[in-house]
Amino acid sequence: MSKGMNHARGWASPDGTGNPWGLVLRMTSVIGACTLSLAAVAIAAPLRVHVGPVTCRAGAASLPVTASGIPAGTTRLGVTVRLGSSHALVGRAARAGSRRGTVTMRVPLDATALSSCGVPVGDALEVRLAARVPHRAVRVVRARVEGPDAPPAREAPAEPGEDPVHAPGPTPPPPQAPPIPAPALPGTTRAVFGTVGAPITEASGLAWSRSAGGLLWTHNDSGDSARVFAMGWDGALRATLPLAGVSAHDIEDIALGTGPGGTEALFVADIGDNAAVRAGVRIYRVAEPLVWGLPLGTMLTAASPHVIRLSYPDGARDAEALVADRTTGDLYVVTKREARSRVYRVSAAQVAAGSGVMHLVGEMPYGGVVGADACADGTTVVVKTYDGVRVHESAGGIGAALMGEGSARPYVREPQGEAIAVDPACEGYATLSEGTGQPIVRYAP
């Protein structure tokens, strides 16, 4: 830890007039470095956290946090900021699929907990960074941003008559239990966005674009032609993409995954079968088209999809959920009508070949699944029923995650909500119901 990070003084105020708060950044020292030991494995390179000054723009406060020494295989970084005096949570941010090395995040803060966009007098902000690594190990480091008049950290003087040179050092802190990582996709803030109108009248699936900010993909349920729609958060139709050479039977979900060469691809799942009589189902893969910059309501040139013809190993099923694993190229189909929904895997080889018999992974602990989506790390899946949303996690991958109980997340029941999508950063999820004039709803940290 550099000397400059031990005592960083003289930060400029947001208006550039100087430092009216006299803030001091002091990195806490644990086991001789700005590092807390691994919960499950040894640290190969020190994970460190560096914190900048509190800034305010347009009435919103934030704190820049830089993580360095990020270990290989990190799947999620989570930052929490608490007020030292009360331990109240005043800020939180997360990032999925973090690369090895250094990452900077800007953590939104609750401005009401601050004093003129600074740390309150005599108080401090406690910053905690948690890095989730394979096999559910968690690495944690901490930093402290102190306000004015906070006493500086220093060693206690030697007792009278004691030799200062050979005096014993400070008593090491007691061992602490491994920290509990913040839950994935907490969904604590619900925001209602624009309503979706015709021709989107029975939105049955939802996908959140990773290549174009603020863009969502959806489609209608049975009864429509083979086409998908791009829309913004205001609900406005951006573009329509027809699928050439195929007819829609019962399209129930859509997912964004990877196509040939790692390109972004839409997977459109024609997997609905209310009476469970179809001999086979179809999934259509098309490259995600460029939409931004086009006039609203653009009709795109029809795309000829790569058709994936599939059958079940144990008879016809009705399914409404499709999950794309971006780490392996596999697809997962989840059934709806059983008391315990069944999960089937379509291997990347079957996707490439365009046909195959799906592999039964197993049964989920509950049934009635109508939608699902996965984070890019391939370990976290959000699952929707008509009554709720659950998040499943496993270092063993999507199939293993879906076999677990999962944990409930916030959700306000919709008239017939069948569509759900997770954001590219694995921080929040969006839902949409069938019916005319239904709003897009986002659940965020």
Output the pTM of the full model.
0.64
Residue 388 has pLDDT above 80, yes or no: yes
pLDDT in tens, 185-210: 999 999 999 999 999 999 999 999 98
Tokens 């697809």, located at residue:
331
Cα separation values, 416 from 14, 309, 331, 433, Å: 47, 28, 25, 5
Q: Give me the DSSP letters along 85-101.
A: TT--EEEEEEEESPPSE
Interior/surface letters 231-241, b for 16+ CB within 10 angstroms, e for the rest = bbeebebbbbb
Question: Which residues in 260-354 belong to E strands, given as ranges?
Answer: 264-270, 281-287, 298-299, 306-311, 319-324, 331-335, 342-346
CA–CA separation, 345 vs 153, rounded Å?
56
Average of per-residue pLDDT across 317-338 = 97
Cα maximum dimension of the chain: 93
Classify residue 215 as left (phi > 0), alpha (psi -120 to 50) or beta. beta
**Residue ranges of domains in the chain, CATH in brackets:** 3-146 (2.60.40.2550), 189-444 (2.120.10.30)
| Long-range pairs of 4-7 with CB within 8 A, sequence gap ≥ 24 | 5/34, 5/50
pLDDT in tens, 126-185: 888 887 776 545 667 788 888 776 544 433 343 343 333 343 445 556 666 555 667 899
Residue 131 is predicted with a pLDDT of 79
Average of per-residue pLDDT across 85-110 = 77
What are the φ/ψ torsions at residue 184 (nearest 5 degrees)?
Answer: -70, 145
Residue 172 is predicted with a pLDDT of 56
Instruction: Give percent of the chain above pLDDT 70.
Output: 80
Residue 40 is predicted with a pLDDT of 33
Partnered with residue 128 across adjacent β-strands are: 80, 142
pLDDT band for position 58 (50/70/90)? low
Average of per-residue pLDDT across 40-53 = 64
pLDDT in tens, 358-369: 999 999 999 999
Q: How many CA atoms lie within 13 A of 410 on its CB side?
A: 16
CA–CA separation, 118 vs 263, rounded Å?
44
Q: How many CA atoms lie within 13 A of 38 on its CB side?
A: 15
CA–CA separation, 170 vs 413, rounded Å?
55
* Helix or strand holding residue 108 (H, E): strand 101-109
Residue 75 is predicted with a pLDDT of 78
Cα separation values, 400 from 84, 133, 183, 376, 381, Å: 39, 17, 18, 16, 10
Average of per-residue pLDDT across 72-95 = 80
Contact 294, 267 (CB under 8 A): no
